[in-house]
Amino acid sequence: MLTLVTGSTGQVGRRFVPRLLAQTRPGERVRVLVRDAARGERFAELGAEVVLGDLRDEDALGKAVSGVDAVVNVAASFRGVPDEEAWAVNHTAAVALGHAALTSGVGRFVQVSTGMIYGSGRGRPLTEDDESRPGGQMWGAYNESKVAAERELLALTDMDVRVARLPFVYGEGDPHLANALQWAAHWASNQRLHMGHHADVAQGLLRILHAPGIAGRVYNIADDAPVTAVDIHLLNGVEIPAELARNTDPDPWFGIMSTDRIRRELGYRPMFPTAWSARDAGVL
């Protein structure tokens, strides 16, 4: 079995690929698509095949998926990029990769998406069957492009497509936890953010990749206890702004995902159920 991973040099990919490589069995191989040869050297040293190319290049896609059995599309263009780039990477390139994989005979395709596609809250934890409701906090081209890609990839019924929706990912030196202060500084004290440690995101992706019989299924991946604005400040060792106590939370269930499906169907259990347990383990 040969598995292709895109987005291997991003925050999620660079931590996922070594874990995927560590779990390979005899006859299993891993290939990564990278734009910069120097950034692919680490993966080559770990045993991965490295293919140079851009996800937005049709010729590179054909080379990347040749002989591949499974694809994990981690590639994403997130905050601080023009809307056109977000759409080009998160939607157009993702769908093109899906079609290239289908043409090449790839049997399994894992699309890595985001819990942000749900949009506004529902007054309860969000489930995989909830439709996307554009709007609410943090809605924009990233969310729209990701949900559009999900829909088109899941429509490729001649290929086994699975979708993983990630929370706010942190840990192992990832700057996301510190970045969260830019929002948390303006939230209410009890306003929450659903997170997942890189170790648990990788665990969830590996379960979704390897599980048989789940074509067309969508899974939320997250930890057990969302952090509050107060937690975010404390975890970063930053003083809590006084105005947090005066602010109100406009949508208490925004971004809070149910993990019941992945727990029941795939046996997922977070190694770090809370950010505090990750802090105590020294893996922030």
**pLDDT one-digit tens code per residue, 142-176:** 999 999 999 999 999 999 999 999 999 999 999 99
Instruction: State the residue range of the domain holding 85.
Output: 2-171+195-223+257-271
Residues 183, 165: Cα–Cα separation, whole Å: 21
118: β partners? none
Is 201 a member of any domain?
yes
- Would 105 be classed as within a structural domain? yes
Q: Which of 271, 129, 127, 93 is nearest to 199 (CA)?
A: 271
Going by pLDDT thresholds of 50, 70 and 90, the confidence category of residue 138 is: confident
Can you give the pTM of this predicted structure?
0.96
Q: Is residue 238 part of a domain?
A: no
- Tally the C-alpha atoms within 13 A of residue 108's C-alpha that lie toward its C-beta: 21
Note the pLDDT of residue 152: 98
pLDDT for 108 equals: 98
How many domains are there within the chain? Answer: 1
φ and ψ of 228, to 5 deg = -95, 170
Q: Judge whether 82 lies within some domain.
A: yes
Task: Say if 187 falls within a structural domain.
Answer: no
pLDDT above 90: residue 209: yes
Among 69-83, 216-230, 252-266, the minimum mean pLDDT is found in 69-83
Secondary structure string (H, E, C) spanning 168-195? EEEECCECHHHHCHHHHCCCCCCCEECE
Question: What span, in angstroms and rounded, lies between the C-alpha atoms of 27 and 129?
Answer: 36
CATH number for the domain harbouring residue 118: 3.40.50.720
In a domain, 230, yes or no: no
Return the closest-CA partner of residue 215 out of 67, 69, 112, 110. 110
Question: In sequence order, which residues have a C-beta less than 8 Å from that of residue 76 and are 6 or more positions away?
Answer: 7, 10, 89, 90, 112, 114, 142, 146
Mean pLDDT (the chain, rounded): 96
In a domain, 249, yes or no: no
Would you say residue 243 lies in a domain? Answer: no
